[in-house]
Amino acid sequence: MREQIKIAAKMYDCQETAMKFFKEEYPAKVKWYVDTLKAVMSKENIGELEAVLFVSKLDSVKDNGMAVMMFMAAAVEIIEGKPKKGGQHTNDVSQTRKYKTA
C-alpha cells in the first residue's frame, strides 16, 4: 500500500509539473498522451499504471523524460476524470483546471 501511495504521489507531481510547464496549452498537449494510453489499455487489456509502464519501456519513450512525464500526467487525467456541470466526471482534458500562479 505504501508503494502505491508513493507511485500516486509521483504521478500527481508529474501532472503538476506538466501543467506548470505548458500552462494553458496543457489540455491540448496531454490529449494525445491520454488517447494513446487509452488505446494501449484497451489493446493490452490493462490498467492505467500498467499502460504507463508498458509505454515507458518502448524504445521511442524510455529515454525521453518529457514523454514519460506526460504519460504519467495522462494516467492521472484518466484516473481522475474531471468534474463538469451537474457533478458528473469526464475524461475530456479540455476540462482540466487551468494552471494557477501562486
- Evaluate whether residue 54 is within a structural domain: yes
- Evaluate whether residue 88 is within a structural domain: yes
Nearest to 70 by CA among 30, 101, 39: 30
Q: How confident is the model at residue 8 (pLDDT cuts 50, 70, 90)?
A: confident
- Evaluate whether residue 101 is within a structural domain: no
Cell numbers placing 49: 499504471
For residue 33, the enclosing domain spans 2-95
What pTM was computed for the model? 0.75
- Evaluate whether residue 100 is within a structural domain: no
- pLDDT at position 92, please? 53
Q: How many domains is the chain built from?
A: 1
d(CA 36, CA 16): 20
